[in-house]
Amino acid sequence: MFSRRIADIQPPPRCAPFPAFNKMFNGCPLRDSPSFSELMTETALYLIPCTLGDTAPELVLPAANRDIILSLRHFIVEDVRSARRFLKAVDRGIDIDTLTFCDMGKHADRSQFASYLEPLRRNEAVGVISEAGCPAVADPGADIVAIAHREGMRVVPLVGPSSILLAVMASGFSGQSFAFHGYLPIEPAARQRRLRQLETRSREERQTQLFIETPYRNRKLFDDLLRACSPRTRLCVAAGLTTEREWVRSMSLGEWRKCGLPELSRVPAIFAIYAA
């Protein structure tokens, strides 16, 4: 079965479908290599993550994102004011008045979304920005992306902070299987019933369950977790991720009952449970 000598085995021929990448990795000086933004010159719909708070963009976003952002003139955004503020934080010299913004927020007219991609049809790139974190992940943007795919347009997701993934990373819970449920019911009885359902699902499927609440209701959600779930179920609270107020703690609900929750009524937080 292994009759061929190692010396007789010839390496496969070098494939060269991307000359720019070969130039980058075949021994040429790095200064001669094209930048990421140069490799991304094809017209596309760019999904642009933004900061999760007032953190400086350069602390959480790759430098290549800035190059791409500065090359764009058309943006589809969840909130125009926060998008303009984010762009100014990326580069104070950016001329906001030369840019166009289309609203995809909760009050936007979805029937107009297809028209937002008109620049792409003219071979002009477009950026998508949500209010915080990654667009189209627990935020608006998926409808825009779906339209782009239906029309065969190129879609490019850029690297940036996702509070959901950061919370999973920091929780110590299963990262192989997890589910994000957004906001739970506000009414206490309905919310406790939902929490018990998620606890059962976590136990049966060995799956991390994540959810959020409006900051001023963080304490009420925490109290309902203590009432509804087993003391053995583990809870992670990941608050203010990537900001100066970042605070992450993960332990059993029995331990949480002893130490309590700090003041988080003004800090966005993600809650995660895992029932072994």
Mind listing the pLDDT tens digit for each residue in 96-132? 999 999 999 999 999 999 999 999 999 999 999 999 9
Amino acid code (one letter) for 61: L
Domain 32-157 has CATH 3.40.1010.10: yes
- Which of the four pLDDT bands, split at 50, 70 and 90, describes residue 25? very low
Helices H / strands E in the chain, number of each: 12, 10
pLDDT in tens, 130-163: 999 999 999 999 999 999 999 999 999 999 999 9
In angstroms, the CA 37 to CA 225 distance is 46
CATH class for the region spanning 163-274:
alpha beta
**pLDDT band of 197, cuts 50, 70, 90:** very high
Residue 105 has what pLDDT? 92
Q: What is the DSSP string of 24-89?
A: HHTT--GGGSPPHHHHT-S--EEE--B-SSS--HHHHS-HHHHHHHHH--EEEES-HHHHHHHHHH
Instruction: Of 12-26, 113-127, 165-179, 259-273, give the lowest mean pLDDT range.
Output: 12-26
Confidence band, pLDDT 50/70/90 cuts, at residue 276: confident
- Please give the model's pTM, rounded to 2 decimal places: 0.82
Evaluate the CA torsion angle 143, 149, 153, 154 in order and state its sign: positive
pLDDT at 2: 38
| Domain boundaries defined on the chain | 32-157, 163-274
